[in-house]
């Protein structure tokens, strides 16, 4: 099944269009309040937009483009929304929770339970079939919730940060499970984790202020981001400006780098470089290096075996020893130096 969607909701400044080919999984990224949950709510039929259309395969979810508008009830849409919390029925066993969807669709009790057992086995929760939700761990309950969602045989699976409530041990198990069960299915997953994107998604869409700021194949967006949010998720510095000479002119001044072939002078472009390529100096370096910027440190935080030094929208990764030698702290005035050979510049 393919998905075609466009909708506007003025009260939330929401105006989004997207397309998914059959079997694709889309990761939706963006800051809080960007419109990610609104997107899923509109697709699932829990929120009505002002205008727009949406189809899954040949099935119309809604069409508000004409006076004779069409709006499908949520239970007729062939979509299933899996939230951050499992939301299992507390009075039912895991087996009966998973069998609920098929039973609601008219299947016999025995057929629904047989299907439920298949999905419990697929999610590695078959041994938990007789347990009530109160007897399950958070990771177990979330896997049962996935089984319940898939047992309903949705044409489109909607996942709203399914790993958010899981601990560091349960999240990798859930990620491996979703990679397996989403193969060949249409799904939309809201996430803030780059591992979810790399592991599960074919396509990425970045929402900011209710609008699409960037979209494309997952690895392309993460390796060559064009939005500040995607760059931050990918762990890269991003500076926007206008191509001039061997780089771009930006709010930081001239940023020299390696220009993509065909990049034209005067063109709007993006310069991207990793924090590991940034050196930090207490005084302006000698020799007039081309990419030197006076910055004020806004934050210091651990980042693996390094210290991430943040200065507004820029950051550098240095060793703890270097941080101590420089006596860095928020408010310190320092210089960031970036070698031009580590900077990639491409059209925005």
Residue-wise pLDDT tens digits, 148-189: 999 998 999 999 988 887 777 778 888 888 898 888 889 999
User: Would you state the pLDDT for residue 271?
Assistant: 94
User: Where is pLDDT greater, at 348 or 253?
Assistant: 253
Do residues 150 and 81 share a domain?
yes
Q: Does 274 lie in the same domain as 165?
A: no
Picking from 223, 251, 274, the residue at the C-terminal end of a domain is 223
Element at 237 (helix H, strand E):
strand 237-244
- Say yes or no: 140 and 270 in one domain: no
- Per the CB < 8 A criterion, the answer to whether 336 and 284 are in contact is no
**Quick check: is 257 in a domain?**
yes
- Average pLDDT (38-48) is 96
Contact 143, 177 (CB under 8 A): yes
Show the domain range for 339.
Answer: 235-347
pLDDT (tens digit per residue) in 261-276? 888 999 999 999 999 9
User: Is 228 a domain residue?
Assistant: no
Q: What percent of the chain has pLDDT over 70?
A: 99
* 32 is a domain residue: yes
Residues 186 and 245 in one domain: no
Task: Say whether both 266 and 140 belong to one domain.
Answer: no
Residue pLDDT, tens place only, 92-150: 999 999 999 999 889 999 999 999 999 999 888 999 999 999 999 988 998 899 999 99
User: Both 112 and 62 in a single domain?
Assistant: yes
Instruction: Give the DSSP letter of residue 75.
Output: G
Distances (CA, A) of 249 to 103, 244, 255: 62, 6, 6
Q: Of the candidates 201, 223, 245, which is a domain's last residue? A: 223
Q: Does 140 reside within a domain? A: yes
Final residue belonging to a domain, choices 196, 223, 250: 223
Estimate the crossing angle of helix 138-151 against helix 109-122, to 10 degrees: 130
Q: List C-alpha distances in Å: 314 to 11, 222, 238, 303.
A: 33, 17, 8, 15
If asked whether residues 130 and 163 sit together in one domain, one would say yes
Q: Is 230 within the bounds of a domain?
A: no
CATH number at residue 334: 2.40.50.100
Contact status, residue 265 vs residue 345, Cβ threshold 8 Å: no
pLDDT mean over 42-60 = 94
| 275 shares its domain with 198 | no
Q: 250 and 174, same structural domain?
A: no
> pLDDT tens for residues 236-248?
999 999 999 999 9
Instruction: State whether 13 and 99 are in the same domain.
Output: yes
What average pLDDT does this structure show over 59-85? 90
The count of domains in the chain is: 2
CATH of the domain at 139: 3.40.50.300
- Look at the block and give the residue holding tokens 């302006």: 284
Across the range 7-33, mean pLDDT stands at 95
Band of residue 40 on the pLDDT scale cut at 50, 70, 90 = very high
Look at residue 42 and tell me if it is in a domain.
yes
Q: Do 26 and 121 belong to one domain?
A: yes
229 belongs to a structural domain: no
Looking at 70-79, 157-166, 216-225, which range is the least confident one? 157-166
Quote the pLDDT of residue 278.
95
- Quote the pLDDT of residue 309: 95
> Is residue 167 in a domain?
yes
Tell me the per-residue pLDDT of 277-333, one tens digit each, with 9 for 90 and over.
999 999 988 776 679 999 999 999 998 899 999 999 999 999 999 999 999 999 999
| Strands laid side by side in the 292-296 sheet | 278-281, 333-338, 292-296
Confidence of residue 192 (pLDDT cuts 50, 70, 90): confident
Q: Is 348 helix (H, G, I), strand (E, B) or coil?
A: coil
Same domain assignment for residues 89 and 45: yes
């Amino acid at each position: 099944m393919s998905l075609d969607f466009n909708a506007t909701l003025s009260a939330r400044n929401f105006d989004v269009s997207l397309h998914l080919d059959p079997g694709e999984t889309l990761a939706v990224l963006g800051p809080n309040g960007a419109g990610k949950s609104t997107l899923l709510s509109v697709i699932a039929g829990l929120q009505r937009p002002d205008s727009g259309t949406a189809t899954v395969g040949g099935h119309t979810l809604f069409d508000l483009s004409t006076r004779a508008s069409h709006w499908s009830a949520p239970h007729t849409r062939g979509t299933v929304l899996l939230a951050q919390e499992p939301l299992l029925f507390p009075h039912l066993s895991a087996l009966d929770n998973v069998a609920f969807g098929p039973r609601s669709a008219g299947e016999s009790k025995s057929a629904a339970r047989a299907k439920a057992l298949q999905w419990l086995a697929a999610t590695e929760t078959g041994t938990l079939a007789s347990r009530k939700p109160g007897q399950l761990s958070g990771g177990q309950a979330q896997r049962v919730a996935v089984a319940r969602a898939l047992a309903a045989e949705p044409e489109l699976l909607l996942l709203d940060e399914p790993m958010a409530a899981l601990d560091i041990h349960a999240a990798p198990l859930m990620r491996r499970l979703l990679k397996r069960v989403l193969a060949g299915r249409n799904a939309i997953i809201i996430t803030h984790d780059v591992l979810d994107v790399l592991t599960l998604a074919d396509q990425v869409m970045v929402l900011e202020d209710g609008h699409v700021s960037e979209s494309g194949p997952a690895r392309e967006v993460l390796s060559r981001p064009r939005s500040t949010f995607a760059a931050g998720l990918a762990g890269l510095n991003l500076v926007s400006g206008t191509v001039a000479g061997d780089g771009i002119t930006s709010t930081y001044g001239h940023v020299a780098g390696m220009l993509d072939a065909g990049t034209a002078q005067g063109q709007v472009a993006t310069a991207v470089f990793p924090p590991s390529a940034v050196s930090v100096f207490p005084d302006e370096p000698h020799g007039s290096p081309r990419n030197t910027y006076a910055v004020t440190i806004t934050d210091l935080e651990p980042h693996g075996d390094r210290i991430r030094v943040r200065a507004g929208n820029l950051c550098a990764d240095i060793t703890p020893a270097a941080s101590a030698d420089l006596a860095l702290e928020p408010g310190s005035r320092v210089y960031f130096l970036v070698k031009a050979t580590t900077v990639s510049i491409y059209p925005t």
